[in-house]
Amino acid sequence: MASITFQGNPVQTVGELPEVGAQAPSFELVGADLAPVSSEELAGRRVILSIFPSLDTGVCAKALREFNERATALENTTVVCASKDLPFAAERFCSAEGIENVSTGSAFRSSLGEDYGVTMTDGPLEGLLSRAVVVIDEQGKVVYTQQVSEVTDEPDYDAALAALA
């Protein structure tokens, strides 16, 4: 169980992020078009999983925009932005913001939060996903993780992208 904070107050998650070097847990999310976004369909590609509570917060929206901008320079890499937002909300947000370089995936009916240890178990956002980044290589191995210690802080974009080098 990870100990993080939300607006300075302690919050726990259901577990810990996968270890670097471990095989990444498989996942299946629901894309904006209601089609699956899965680790199986991304096999052979590098994946950046940007996990966050909700697009309806400024920091989450900013992180999605930032990964969208940086994704243009990445080869053989898919950035998957995962939250429990409904696919319709993600589609609206991406359409309004011109987001085209990342995939969104809703975990509303997925075990991603439990499998990756990021579902918050208490606090005002209980049940939503904490802010985290997991980078997975072409072989499905975890090469980088960051559990952001304060949910309202942005992830370390540079460190996540450096893990792909």
Provide the 3-class DSSP secondary structure of residue 62: helix
Rounded CA separation 12/138 (Å): 31
Q: Which of 48, 51, 60, 142 is catalytic?
A: 60
Please compute Rg for the chain using Cα positions. 14
Rounded CA separation 1/10 (Å): 12
94 is catalytic: no
Active site residues per annotation: 60
